[in-house]
A and B are shown apart, each in its own frame.
Chain A
């Protein structure tokens, strides 16, 4: 029998306001094995930990139960405290009486009863705990960054500058991401390309950085410090070592009708293409779906004109397998499809565009060479209407529930730039709220209103009606004036909500990184661990974690890099000792456990077993502790009860159930 101490935390009033902590102490004192019980206001504080320390030493405790918040919050804290007092850290159990009890109940009597039951279960378990020793695993000193936008580039540069090898995997033919599509950036209005392209060059030139463009992550195995990743280098149909980037192939390519992804489909590109002039690497790819040679077998013009002989129609996808210690996800975002908002006539009129399309129109390298013009007839607009929150802050399931965060600022930017360059254009913005928290952001918005005369109307738009004369009639409401508004416009710009890049769910699944209902990756702790995924060794950079603007993205990218560096700087990691173990006497070698193991941690060996004096040679399961993640799938699947999880044995769990049902 253990000598158990129970420590009940008030968590200020978080627990104590709903759970009678004194009563809990009184009740648990009667439990078998409990030799000490006390309560304290903040058990996690230094003073609280000192009490645990003192009790362990004075009462000779061999196991402790802390009744407090979720183990996800402070299990590590209390394990460390116990270890300092000379106790094996795995002799600590947490009874979660906050998230599982006080926060979700109102009635004190019932909540107290439940807290006692949860404590009893933990006491029953700790009575069966045995000291466990973590093993060690080596750290591969190389990081993988998935996504080559500004988030991925910044993270890669920061990790590489600390002296570690970094690989960037980018699915499109060039790094640069969304930022490369932007014209100017708020709140300083510097040109996006002017500040981004030097970063792209820096990443490409960095001796520690390897960039895989037109590539995707195919498979991820392993665990923190020791991931193995398959990277699929999609067939570019170009020999990257031979291509000089002269661009003749793109000029001569006769297939020029594919909508340009980079220009959001506003113009077309050739089948052999680089997405934009400053692409890195400056090596084109052949879009095999559009290429005449691939479709009909005829053509081959690019091969004929290529002086370097770089065209390779036979090239195949190539898999690169690489080991990494840390993985940073920087997969970014896209804007939502606005054709589900037909009331704004996006699919019915060419002159209704999204803000990202406007970025391309305003850009000197864009489809209109930077001239503001209507896409229907090329005419210069006189009246422009911006509609905010298209698909953001929606209460129905059509749109997103969240605020996309960047739209208020980029709309103010667009409005200001247009008024500055074309003073003859009237600009009206329909908004729900104008949200400008951020350094120099509100000043920026006020400049748009006060200095540039942008007409802001608080209210939503109900309909955009294309008129017989080619104009657009915007039907909205002014909530401050309490009147309906009918406004004729030449162009309407929709601030479409942003959403995580579609691939992110596939990538998160491979990484076993959790993801929320909006497909944003979940951080380990919303406030205290915002750049770490709950999956050890996986870090989050940029909009894949939640909407952000460029400054925030760059800041987070640096933070993710620091976390990755902190991991890579270690030579060894302690492994979780709560792994599966096969009882060789009971194992019949049926392979059921190996079949359900998601980590490939179970193998079989044939060995001589001494079964109560009878020696025989049998095939038995063997668990690789370095690979086992302690998920417990095998313990459930094993038909003979030979598989058990250390620290969570069947006996311990049943003891908990018994204690709850008692």
Chain B
């Protein structure tokens, strides 16, 4: 199975591990990620202004590219996934945005939300299957791992339709599949502070400390995330309970024997 792949900027700079292991693991699991040519930055934040159209166009280009190839579009970064998934929903359901974006793009055939957008974790869950993944694991991790979802993967739940936003299970199921022991802690779906960390360092610091304290208190030894921004913020934590944070693809690679050691 070949998927169109949208890596996003951070995966080419700060979060190279997220990208590299995603692609390597895909091969090991029997699917391929074909990077879209000339993809552009998703903008990093879904634009809430209803009259804002320019910042949605890069997502529409990527979506249309996948449509032309007849492939589903896979993302790894939570923020890119969030922006592209929501833009796709706009193209499907919001007539005004669809019309204006198509007028601007002048595509051969107008784009109307036909592409299916999948997060890498959804590919593992729904296409590969966690049971199949489990069979391919050569080095079960055996560690206590806390899933850190953050907000962008889960919300708004009606549009992203990723998992139950208040009690998600997909990353826990992933952790089980790679032989780890998931640790449930209540702040796993709470915001890390996002871009607030640029302006209000103290507030963002409190938010990540609370996440760390909660995860460590419930017995987690490490955290995994799909989001480079969450990773950045969590690593800034000054909590005495600070845990190491990894991208989920790193641990996937480790479990599949594609990586020596974390």
Say whether A associates with B.
Answer: yes
Residues of A within 8 A of B (CB): 341-343, 345, 347-348, 463-469, 473
Report the Cα distance A465→B184, complex, angstroms: 11
Q: Does B167 contact A (CB under 8 A)?
A: yes
Q: Does B197 contact A (CB under 8 A)?
A: no
Q: In the bound complex, do residue B164 and residue A467 qualify as a contact, i.e. CB atoms below 8 Å apart?
A: no
Chain A, residue nearest B166 (CB)? A342
Closest 9 CB pairs of A and B: A342-B166, A468-B217, A465-B186, A342-B167, A343-B166, A468-B218, A466-B186, A342-B164, A465-B187
Report the Cα distance A342→B190, complex, angstroms: 13
Looking at B165, B167, B219, the one whose CB has the most chain A CB atoms below 10 A away is B167
Q: In the bound complex, do residue A345 and residue B186 qualify as a contact, i.e. CB atoms below 8 Å apart?
A: yes
Report the Cα distance A347→B168, complex, angstroms: 12
Report the Cα distance A468→B166, complex, angstroms: 19
Report the Cα distance A580→B187, complex, angstroms: 67
Looking at B186, B187, B190, B218, the one whose CB has the most chain A CB atoms below 10 A away is B186
Q: A residues within 8 A CB of B219?
A: 468
A–B pairs, 22, beta carbons within 8 Å = A341-B166, A342-B164, A342-B165, A342-B167, A343-B166, A347-B167, A348-B184, A348-B186, A463-B190, A464-B186, A465-B186, A465-B187, A465-B214, A466-B186, A467-B186, A467-B214, A467-B217, A468-B214, A468-B217, A468-B218, A469-B217, A473-B186
Contact with A along B144-181 (1 / 0, CB 8 A): 00000000000000000000111100000000000000
Interface positions, chain B 200-256, Cβ under 8 Å from A, are 214, 217-219
Q: A residues within 8 A CB of B186?
A: 345, 348, 463-467, 473
Q: B residues within 8 A CB of A343?
A: 166
Chain A, residue nearest B215 (CB)? A468
Shortest Cβ gap from A529 to chain B (Å): 39
Chain A, residue nearest B210 (CB)? A465
Given contacts A342-B167, A347-B167, A466-B186, 14 further A-B contacts (CB under 8 A): A342-B164, A342-B165, A342-B166, A345-B186, A348-B167, A463-B186, A465-B186, A467-B214, A467-B217, A468-B214, A468-B217, A468-B218, A468-B219, A473-B186
Report the Cα distance A466→B187, complex, angstroms: 9
Report the Cα distance A3→B16, complex, angstroms: 91
Shortest Cβ gap from B186 to chain A (Å): 3
Q: B residues within 8 A CB of A463?
A: 186, 190
Report the Cα distance A468→B187, complex, angstroms: 12
Shortest Cβ gap from A387 to chain B (Å): 14
Chain B interface residue count, Cβ-Cβ cutoff 8 angstroms: 12
Report the Cα distance A342→B184, complex, angstroms: 13
Report the Cα distance A348→B166, complex, angstroms: 11
Chain B, residue nearest A467 (CB)? B217
Report the Cα distance A347→B166, complex, angstroms: 11
Report the Cα distance A465→B187, complex, angstroms: 7
Q: A residues within 8 A CB of B166?
A: 341-343
Shortest Cβ gap from A350 to chain B (Å): 14
Q: B residues within 8 A CB of A466?
A: 186
Chain B, residue nearest A465 (CB)? B186
Shortest Cβ gap from A180 to chain B (Å): 32
Q: B residues within 8 A CB of A469?
A: 217
Q: B residues within 8 A CB of A465?
A: 186-187, 214
Q: A residues within 8 A CB of B167?
A: 342, 347-348
Report the Cα distance A577→B167, complex, angstroms: 60
Looking at B165, B166, B190, B219, the one whose CB has the most chain A CB atoms below 10 A away is B166
Report the Cα distance A464→B167, complex, angstroms: 12
Looking at B184, B214, B219, the one whose CB has the most chain A CB atoms below 10 A away is B214
Q: A residues within 8 A CB of B187?
A: 465
Q: A residues within 8 A CB of B184?
A: 348
Q: B residues within 8 A CB of A464?
A: 186
Shortest Cβ gap from A156 to chain B (Å): 43
Report the Cα distance A341→B218, complex, angstroms: 22
Q: B residues within 8 A CB of A468?
A: 214, 217-219
Report the Cα distance A473→B214, complex, angstroms: 11
Contact with A along B122-156 (1 / 0, CB 8 A): 00000000000000000000000000000000000
Report the Cα distance A467→B187, complex, angstroms: 10
Report the Cα distance A473→B186, complex, angstroms: 10
Shortest Cβ gap from A485 to chain B (Å): 15
Report the Cα distance A464→B187, complex, angstroms: 10
Shortest Cβ gap from B53 to chain A (Å): 28
Report the Cα distance A348→B187, complex, angstroms: 13
Q: A residues within 8 A CB of B214?
A: 465, 467-468
Chain B, residue nearest A466 (CB)? B186
Report the Cα distance A27→B185, complex, angstroms: 75
Shortest Cβ gap from B183 to chain A (Å): 11
Shortest Cβ gap from B185 to chain A (Å): 8
Report the Cα distance A341→B164, complex, angstroms: 10
Report the Cα distance A465→B186, complex, angstroms: 5
Report the Cα distance A341→B167, complex, angstroms: 9
Shortest Cβ gap from A16 to chain B (Å): 41
Report the Cα distance A296→B226, complex, angstroms: 49
Shortest Cβ gap from A324 to chain B (Å): 46
Shortest Cβ gap from A252 to chain B (Å): 40
Shortest Cβ gap from B211 to chain A (Å): 11
Shortest Cβ gap from A138 to chain B (Å): 56
Report the Cα distance A202→B218, complex, angstroms: 55
Report the Cα distance A36→B23, complex, angstroms: 87
Shortest Cβ gap from A171 to chain B (Å): 32
Shortest Cβ gap from B221 to chain A (Å): 14
Report the Cα distance A463→B190, complex, angstroms: 10
Report the Cα distance A468→B186, complex, angstroms: 10
Report the Cα distance A401→B184, complex, angstroms: 32
Shortest Cβ gap from B190 to chain A (Å): 8
Shortest Cβ gap from A347 to chain B (Å): 7
Shortest Cβ gap from B259 to chain A (Å): 31
Shortest Cβ gap from B207 to chain A (Å): 12
Q: B residues within 8 A CB of A342?
A: 164-167
Report the Cα distance A347→B169, complex, angstroms: 13
Q: A residues within 8 A CB of B190?
A: 463
Report the Cα distance A466→B166, complex, angstroms: 13
Report the Cα distance A463→B166, complex, angstroms: 9
Chain A, residue nearest B184 (CB)? A348
Q: A residues within 8 A CB of B218?
A: 468
Report the Cα distance A345→B187, complex, angstroms: 11
Shortest Cβ gap from A467 to chain B (Å): 7
Q: A residues within 8 A CB of B164?
A: 342
Report the Cα distance A345→B190, complex, angstroms: 14
Report the Cα distance A347→B214, complex, angstroms: 18
Report the Cα distance A137→B186, complex, angstroms: 66
Q: B residues within 8 A CB of A467?
A: 186, 214, 217
Report the Cα distance A135→B167, complex, angstroms: 62
